[in-house]
Amino acid sequence: MKNKKPAKPVFLAIYTALFFVYMFAPLVIIFIFAFNKGQGYYFPLQGFTLNWFNEFFSDNMALKAIKNSLLIAVASATISTLLGTFLTLGVVKGVKRFRTGLLTMLMLPVLMPSLTIGISILVFFRTIYIPLGIPVVILAHVSISISYVFLIMMGRIEGIDLEVQEAAIDLGAGWIASLKDILFPILLPAITAGWLFSFMISWNEFIITYFLIGTEVTLPIYIFSQLRFGISPKVNVISLLITLFTLTMIALLFAVRKFFARRRRAMDSYLSS
């Protein structure tokens, strides 16, 4: 029965290539129009210009949006990584009862529609008469990012053997020292990944922010209002810049991963020699 050789996946390969074109072409078209002289979005292009970049950088609202987005993303990533790391350590290495319930609950922010989350936090803060704005957005972003930190850290923490912590404590280290000097360095790669991940979640988050931001502005809110009420090639400029920034963050994530992998290999070979 050798007449059935594995089919050459030519069709599948072409289809996959087309799929990648479908995924990237719209973005490329946006970038092209960031440099187009005319106002309209059609071919043929009207000539090259950097004018839209000037216009974007002299737009105070846009600059304020960038500043706010950075502030919210850094604050919420830092708080959620701190709380999330402790939470994961506790759940994986300490909690025996109610584990499934905890896991299910922590999965909610990932799987529930952002709309439900945004509305419920809006109603909550308005009910207790706390004004909306950047602090409320940070609180909300932390609540959802904790879950993502948990997702990233869980596998990593399951993988470490608590004997190292016990050994340190047997040798006279305090419990806090065992966390700081033993577990923290081991978990540093996962902590960094968790921070970058939370940063990106917050940086991109739109729906929850939309309901909680009040009269302030973040980058996604700025883009949304631009898209709703007449678009200018300024939006193309900001899209291009955000994409470049995103690529940098992804590269950073991989660089971090590679750095720690190399360090670990070096350590292993040192220990075995």
Partner 1 sequence: MSNIAKNNKNLIYPGLLWFGIFFMLPLAVIFLYSFTTDYIFSGRSIDFTFSNFLLIFQKKHYLIILWRSLKISFITTVLSILFSYPVAYFLAKKTSLDRVLIVVLMIPFWVNYLIRIFAWKLLLSENGVINQFLLFIGFIDKPLQMLYTQTAVVFGLVYTYTPMMVLPLYATILKIDSSLTEAALDLGASRTGVFFDITFKLSLTGIFAGTLLVFIPALGSFAIPAILGGTDSVMIGNMVENQFFHVGNWNFGSAFTLALGALSIAMILFYSKIFGLESIYKNKNI
Q: Rule CB under 8 A: which of 233-252 touch partner 1?
A: 235, 239, 242-243, 246-247, 249-250
One residue of 39, 54, 58, 124 binding partner 1 per CB under 8 A: 124
* Shortest Å, Cβ 27 to partner 1: 6
One residue of 206, 214, 216, 260 binding partner 1 per CB under 8 A: 206
Please tell me whether residue 129 adopts helix, strand or coil conformation: coil
* Shortest Å, Cβ 25 to partner 1: 9
C-alpha to C-alpha distance for 70 and 220, rounded to whole angstroms: 12
One residue of 21, 24, 38, 177 binding partner 1 per CB under 8 A: 24
Residue in this structure with the two tokens 């996962």, named with its chain if needed: 190
Give 74's Cβ-side CA count (13 Å radius). Answer: 6
Are the C-beta atoms of residues 238 and 66 closer than 8 Å to each other? no
Measured from the CB atom, the residue of 71 and 162 that comes closer to partner 1 is 162
C-alpha to C-alpha distance for 215 and 260, rounded to whole angstroms: 42
* Shortest Å, Cβ 273 to partner 1: 31
Radius of gyration of the chain, Cα coordinates, nearest whole angstrom: 24
The enclosing H or E element of 269 equals: helix 234-272
Asked whether position 45 contacts partner 1 by CB under 8 A, the answer is no
C-alpha to C-alpha distance for 247 and 95, rounded to whole angstroms: 38
Measured from the CB atom, the residue of 110 and 267 that comes closer to partner 1 is 110
Asked whether position 169 contacts partner 1 by CB under 8 A, the answer is yes
Measured from the CB atom, the residue of 58 and 116 that comes closer to partner 1 is 116
Q: Rule CB under 8 A: which of 73-102 touch partner 1?
A: 83-84, 86-87, 89-91, 93-95, 100
Measured from the CB atom, the residue of 206 and 260 that comes closer to partner 1 is 206
* Shortest Å, Cβ 165 to partner 1: 6
* Shortest Å, Cβ 268 to partner 1: 23
Measured from the CB atom, the residue of 154 and 186 that comes closer to partner 1 is 154
Are the C-beta atoms of residues 241 and 203 closer than 8 Å to each other? no
C-alpha to C-alpha distance for 113 and 222, rounded to whole angstroms: 22
C-alpha separations of 82 from 100, 174, 194, 229 in Å: 23, 20, 10, 40
Measured from the CB atom, the residue of 16 and 58 that comes closer to partner 1 is 16
Cis preceding-peptide flag for 9 (omega within 30 of 0): no
